[in-house]
Amino acid sequence: MITNLAVIVAPSLIAFLIGILITPHLTDFLYRNKYWKKVSVGKTIDGREATISNKIHNDEERKTPRMGGLVVWVSVLLTTLVFWLMPALIDNHQLGKANFLSRNQTWLPLFSLIVMSLVGIVDDYLVIKGRGKYIGGGLSLRTRLVFVLGIATLGAFWFFFKLGFGDISIPLVGVFHMGMWFIPFFIFVVLATYSGGIIDGVDGLAGGIFAVIFSSYAIIAFAHNQIDLAAFCMVIVGGLLAFLWFNIPPARFFLSETGTMGLTVTLAVVAFLTGGIAVLPLVAFPLVITTGSSVIQILSKRFRNGKKVFIVAPLHNHFQAKGWPPYKVVMRYWVISVFFASAGIILALIG
């Protein structure tokens, strides 16, 4: 038990230290090359002028770089390499147990994190350079969804044919045998989880919430004796805490697509691997209400002659528009995140 805990916690500490060490070099590069968005939000997702969002975000005035997500996934990648190479370099039985890279637990989430983060880098770079289809630049939503759909489809087939997944366990209800329907269900969940990436927008908000979510799935994985997966989740938490150290107001950089694309898709993969997919809406409740508020806003404006439910969507921006200072929005979201994540853990463990 103690050995397993050490195997899980140690990589997280290393990821945190690596993140802290690489950040000064990263920020020097980002500021020296002016890697911030040159134009504030131009339009909402439904094509209307984003006048309120412009006032809230003020990207041009703040001059805060994007690509802060590099701190997270680069520290995860380097930590994984360190613990993978360690048994070959140091002849120690206990250190051999610390290698958490395994085919059935961590290959797919690591692959998802790296590939989608690289797509995010491309999007951020185009935004920074003002290139792309939209005002302000960047990959189109359709293009990003194509990449997410590709990874989701690959993951669905890997889970179904390679890992033998096909059932969904719902706490207090039972097990549902989905058969081939597992494949489209998996793809839908990945796409839905990716949509929660729009929570990135207030200093410290996304980093803190993702840290809570991945910590929760580390606990669930540990309870299911998925030690490698629990360690991987905690390595992500370590990288997130390093990022958060520099993202607390005033933020030194933003998570942006470099971070959110990889984290959201990886979250969906981790949720399936732990068997805790049914509690994902609880554990990731802030992502759910964020996406939900945007969907409600779009539908309301389309079917109610332009009338809005919220001052501005997503929901955290609505609270800012009402006059809440950013730190109040962030702290209350953190509290809500911990509450619902705890409820999700309890359900997952008793189910």
Over the stretch 40-54, which tens digit does the pLDDT of each residue have?
655 555 555 555 555
Q: Tell me what the mean pLDDT of segment 13-34 comes to.
A: 96
Tell me which of 3 and 114 has the higher pLDDT: 114
3-state helix, strand, coil in the chain (%, to 5): 70, 5, 25
pLDDT tens digit sequence for 193-206? 999 999 998 999 99
pLDDT of residue 85: 87
Least confident of 51-60, 63-72, 230-239, 254-263: 51-60
**CA 332 remoteness from chain centre:** 19
In the chain, % of residues over pLDDT 90: 73
Binned at pLDDT 50, 70 and 90, residue 1 comes out as low
pLDDT of residue 132: 62
Q: State the chain's mean pLDDT as an integer.
A: 89
pLDDT tens digit sequence for 160-174? 998 899 999 998 888
pLDDT of residue 62: 67
Binned at pLDDT 50, 70 and 90, residue 293 comes out as very high
Least confident of 85-89, 124-128, 294-298: 85-89
Binned at pLDDT 50, 70 and 90, residue 58 comes out as low
pLDDT of residue 201: 84
Measure the CA–CA gap between 329 and 319, rounded to whole angstroms: 7
Asked whether the CA dihedral 249, 254, 259, 264 is positive or negative, the reply is positive
Three-state DSSP at 142 gives: helix
Tokens linked to 341: 């994540």
Q: What is the pTM of this model?
A: 0.92
pLDDT of residue 248: 87
Q: Tell me what the mean pLDDT of segment 24-40 comes to.
A: 89
Q: Is the pLDDT of residue 89 over 80?
A: no
